[in-house]
Amino acid sequence: KFELYTCFSPLVTKTCAINAITKLLRWIKKEEDRLFIRYPPKYSTTPNPSKSSKGGKSI
C-alpha cells in the first residue's frame, strides 16, 4: 500500500529505531483518513459549458 522511509543517526540502536517507527506507524494508521485521500469524492453533477461562449457575433 504505502512505503515509509526513515533516517536515523548511526548512534541510534536498532531497537530504538524499530520502536520509533512502530509508534509512527500506529499514529499514521489512526489518522489515515485525515492524512491521505484514499477515495476521492464523487461529484453528482458535471459542469455544463455556457451557451453564450460559442463565439457568436453581437451587433
What average pLDDT does range 1-6 have in this prediction?
86
Domain boundaries, the chain: 13-39
pLDDT reported for residue 46: 63
How far is residue 56 CA from its own chain's centroid? 43
Task: Decide which of 59 and 20 is more confident.
Answer: 20
C-alpha cell at 37: 485521500
DSSP secondary structure, 8-54, as one string: --TTS-HHHHHHHHHHHHHHHHHTHHHH--SSPPPPS--PPPPGGGS
Instruction: Report DSSP state, residue 56.
Output: -
- Please state the pTM of the whole predicted model: 0.58
Q: What is the pLDDT of residues 8-58, one digit of tens each?
A: 999 999 999 999 999 999 999 999 888 888 787 787 666 666 665 555 565
* Residue environment code for 31-45, b if the CB has 16+ CB neighbours within 10 A, otherwise e: eeeeeeeeeeeeeee
